[in-house]
Structure 1
Amino acid sequence: MDILVFKTNLRYRKHIHHIGSHLDTLKGVIRWNVDMHDKDRILRIEAQNLSPRVIENTLSHAGYSCEELE
């Protein structure tokens, strides 16, 4: 299992609900959460065999940006 961490531009709870519908359909995503109290709105994803680029592309298609953090 991998833990993927991203900086995002999510601002409101409705944004989290919107990306949830996209993330929940991705094969390999086990669970995910967004830390809205962090200035970078950190998205953490527990996943198995999932490329960070897939997450970045998925959020981009949903209208948001995210950048993988090391």
Structure 2
Amino acid sequence: MIYVFKTNIKTKSQVKKLKPHIDKILPGGEWNFDLEDCDKILRIDCKENIVLNIIDLLKAHKFDCEELE
């Protein structure tokens, strides 16, 4: 399943800071940020429903995150 989130992540260093935390939630899942997109998209491809986990993680690190339909 592919999940798409709108975030306010702006830099590669912010992504690097989040990487170990996202990897921990998504063992075996694939994910990436599109920092060129105006919505700073986070795409996740995994089998489990991780929506709340990802939103909670980013909010815990003071970032905005909402799932896009």
TM-score (norm 2): 0.89
- The 3-state SS of whatever aligns with 1:24 is helix
Post-superposition Cα deviations, 1:14-53, rounded to whole Å, max 9, x if no partner, equal 1111111110001455110000110110000011112311
Give yes or no for the alignment of 1:62 onto 2:61.
yes
Question: How many equivalent pairs are there?
Answer: 69
CA RMSD after TM alignment: 1.4
Which one-letter code corresponds to 1:59 in the other structure? L
Give yes or no for the alignment of 1:15 onto 2:52.
no
Which one-letter code corresponds to 1:23 in the other structure? I
Q: Which residue of 1 aligns with 2:2?
A: 3
Where does structure 2 lack aligned partners over 5 or more consecutive residues? none
CA distance in 2, matches of 1:9, 1:21: 18
Off by >6 Å, runs of 4+ in structure 1? none
Identity over the aligned pairs, expressed in percent?
35
Q: Which residue of 1 aligns with 2:35?
A: 36
